[in-house]
Amino acid sequence: MSKVLITGATGFIGNHVTRMCLERGDEVRVMVMPGEDRSPLDGMDVEFVEGNLLDPDSLPKAVKGVEKLYHLAALFAIWTKDPDLHYKINVEGARSMMHAALAADLEKIVYTSSIAAIGVAGKGALATEKTPFRSWPFASEYIMSKYISHLLVKGMVNEGLPVTMVMPGLPFGPGDRAPTPTGTMIIGTLKGQMKNYWDGGVCPVDVRDVAAGHVLAMDKGRIGESYILANKEANMTNKEFLSLIGKVAGVDKVATREISHNTMLRVARIAEFISKLTGKAPVTTYKNSLFVMQHCYVDPSKAIEELGLPQTPIETAVRDAVDWFREHDYV
């Protein structure tokens, strides 16, 4: 097989991509930051190299001698003390990594973008890879950084960069250590805390399908093309998703009370005000609240047809996630 470099291997999706690459016989090098916790990679036969997206001079060593690159490393947070940090890591860091890969003459690159880089099609409609970005009213620093970095990476195809871009939905499943926002919804449900719901929609997808989509994109993805990695049958309202979690987990009284958008936005304003006084992260932000009110439904048909993207039944994925959180004492 191939010698590959994976950035973001200690993260949720990256960890699953690393496992899949090893299982298929790839020789895997992972880039970690100096002092970064490597425990998510315990037991994996990988080569470690230190590098930092904020230090462009550290990247040529990371890509030297590999044939292919999975670039998953990115910052995802609803709030940071440094408002420019998302741009520095997700845009400038991606630019530096792509330049290093181009200079090293790699055979192929899979870049992890996001559905945040495309537009929301509107309530009841499905966004595709071609849906124009129009998320300006609720575009957080993270959303803007992924939109800009997607355009940047795609533009470098004209410079000869052999890159395919993948755009995951909302991944969840086993190994969600952080946990992700979707994982937080599951944990909250298991703890009996998710009695409220709001008018909005999500596109949850099994993280193992997302990881498989990365590997399939490396093998079959067309250069310069983007692929949404999601579950075609899992565009759901928040109430539907929370209710499914409750059903699978055997938890009663889930998503029984609707919270109005106005209430959510007032809470967000108060949270931001408290954050300014304390310097601590708010529980939510105004733009994040606006975003979760959207119906972020997507159509992964292109990835299914061209790549063979797996479609694990969403109920199976929820059951596996519930079991993992319970087994690892999150509840």
At residue 86, the pLDDT reads: 97
Helices 238-249 and 181-190 cross at an angle (nearest 10°) of 50
Nearest to 137 by CA among 153, 124, 120: 120
Q: Are 316 and 174 in contact (CB under 8 A)?
A: no
HEC string for 165-212: EEEECEEECCCCCCCCHHHHHHHHHHCCCCCEECCCEECEEEHHHHHH
Q: Which pLDDT score is estimated for 125?
A: 93
Query: Contact at 8 Å (CB) between 127 and 301?
Result: no
Instruction: Give the C-alpha separation, 173 to 207, whole Å.
Output: 6
**Alpha-carbon 242 to chain mean position:** 20
What pLDDT score was predicted for residue 1?
82
Widest distance between CA atoms in the chain? 56
Nearest to 119 by CA among 127, 107, 109: 127
**What local confidence, expressed as pLDDT, does residue 178 receive?**
92
Structure tokens at 4: 């590959």
In this structure, what token pair is assigned to residue 251? 């938890």
Distances (CA, A) of 144 to 147, 190, 236: 5, 33, 24
DSSP letter at 259 equals: P
Distance separating alpha carbons of residues 45 and 38, to the nearest angstrom: 13
Instruction: Say how far apart CA 123 and CA 119 lie, in whole Å.
Output: 12
Please, which residues bridge with residue 204 across strands?
A: 170
200/17 Cα distance (integer angstroms): 30
Is the bond into 179 cis (omega within 30 degrees of 0)?
A: yes
Instruction: Report yes or no: 118 and 131 within 8 Å, Cβ to Cβ.
Output: yes
pLDDT in tens, the chain (331 residues): 899 999 999 999 999 999 999 999 999 999 999 999 999 999 999 999 999 999 999 999 999 999 999 999 999 999 999 989 999 999 999 999 999 999 999 999 999 999 999 989 987 899 999 999 999 888 999 999 999 999 999 999 999 999 999 999 999 999 999 999 999 999 999 999 999 999 999 999 999 999 999 999 999 999 999 999 999 999 999 999 999 999 999 999 999 999 999 999 999 999 999 999 999 999 999 999 999 999 999 999 999 999 999 999 999 999 999 999 999 999 9
Amino acid identity, position 96:
S
> Which residues is 48 bridged to in the sheet?
30
The answer, as to whether pTM is greater than 0.85, is yes
**Secondary structure class of 269 (helix, strand, coil):** helix
CA 121 remoteness from chain centre = 19
Cβ(274)–Cβ(286) below 8 Å: no
- The per-residue pLDDT for 245 is 98
Multiple choice CATH, 3-176+204-231+298-311, 3.40.190.80, 3.30.210.10, 3.40.50.2300, 3.40.50.720: 3.40.50.720
Give the pLDDT of residue 222: 98
Half-sphere exposure of 273 (CA within 13 A, CB side): 6
Residue 83's pLDDT is 87
Asked whether the beta carbons of 66 and 73 are under 8 A apart, the reply is: no
Where on the phi/psi map is residue 25: left (φ > 0), alpha (ψ -120 to 50), or beta? left
Q: What is the pLDDT of residue 259?
A: 96
Quick one: pLDDT at residue 318?
98
Write the DSSP symbol of residue 272: H
